[in-house]
Copies of this chain bind each other. A is one copy, B any other.
C-alpha cells in the first residue's frame, strides 16, 4: 500500500534530499541570500496571534507603498478585519465597512501603478516555454515575478502576491484594503490593479479561512470576519521583535540552474519531465535569516 508521505509527495521531497545529500549547481551560495529591509516588511497579527509577513515592493508601486507605510504607522488597520475569502481567488482585508476615514497623508487615489516601461528581469536565464498571458516573463534580481507585455511590464498575479483592492476605474485603491491570491493565478488582473508585495510567511492563515458565503466571497451576516489585531512595519517594532527575512537573489548561475531544475523535474517520481515551468510555479525562496 501507499505510504502517505510518499504517495504523490515524493517529488516534493527531492529538493530537500538534493540539499542534504550531494551539492547541486542549483544550491544557493551563502551570499545569494540578501536581507529584506525592515521598512519593506509588513507584519500583520490576526486574532489568535497568527502572523502574516508581507514583503513590500516599493520600487514597483511607490505611491501605494507610501500609503501602506502611513497606514501602518497610524495603526490604522488595528481593529479592522479579514472580511472576504473567495475560493480559488482572493482573501481580502482592511477597511471596508469597518473603517472608512483614512489617516492624514494617505492619498485616497494614487496614480495607477499597474505597469511601467521596460523589463528589468535578470538575463541569466529565460523560461524555456512561453507564457499564456505575457510576451515574456522573468524575475527581477531581487526575486519579483515580472510579466512583460511589449513596451511595458507588470508584477504578475501569482499565488501569495498582495494587491490593492479598488473600485471601478479611475479608482486605484488607497491601500487601505488589500488582498492576496489564494488559488490559481488570476493573471487577467495583471496591468489592471496595483500589486504591492508578496506574502513570504504565514500564507496559510489567509488561505485556510472559511470561505465567505455572500456574493463574491464576502462574509455573510452570520459569518465572523477574522479580527486584525495589528499591522506594523518591521521597522516600527522594537529591535528584538523584528523578524529578519532574506530573499534569494536571482542574478547568478545558481539560480539559473534552479530554474532549469524546476523546468525538468526528475528524480524517482517524475516519469516525464516537462521541459518548462510557468512563472508562478517558479517563485524564488524567501527564508528567515539563519
Within 8 A of B (CB), among A1-15: 1-13
With contacts A185-B184, A270-B192, A271-B192 known, is A5 near B216, CB below 8 A? yes
* Among listed A163-171, A230-238, A250-258, interface-contacting one: A163-171
Hey, what's the 0/1 contact readout for A1-39 against B, CB within 8 Å counting as 1? 111111111111100000000000000000000000000
Contact of A120 with B by CB under 8 A = no
**Smallest beta-carbon distance A75→chain B, Å:** 18
For A209, the chain B residues whose CB sits under 8 A away are 208
Interface flag for A249 (CB, 8 Å): no
Q: Is there an interface contact between A184 and B166, defined as CB atoms closer than 8 Å?
A: no
Kindly provide the distance from the CB of A182 to the nearest chain B CB, expressed in whole angstroms: 8
Q: State which size class the interface on A falls in.
A: 35 or more
Could you tell me which residues of chain A, from 256 to 290, have a CB within 8 Å of some CB in chain B? Answer: 265, 268-274, 276-281
Contact A169 B271 (CB under 8 A): yes
Given A10-B167, A193-B8, A88 and B160 contact (CB-CB distance below 8 Å): yes
Specify which of B2, B177, B190 is in contact with A167 (CB 8 Å cutoff): B2
Majority SS at the chain A contact face: loop
Partner of A133, one of B13, B191, B278: B278
Partner of A165, one of B8, B92, B108, B208: B8
What residue in chain B is nearest A112 (Cβ atoms)? B271
Query: At the interface, yes or no: A122 with Cβ under 8 Å from chain B?
Result: no
A226 to chain B, nearest CB (A): 12
Shortest Cβ distance from A209 into B: residue = B208
Contacts of A281 in B (CB 8 A): 184, 186-188
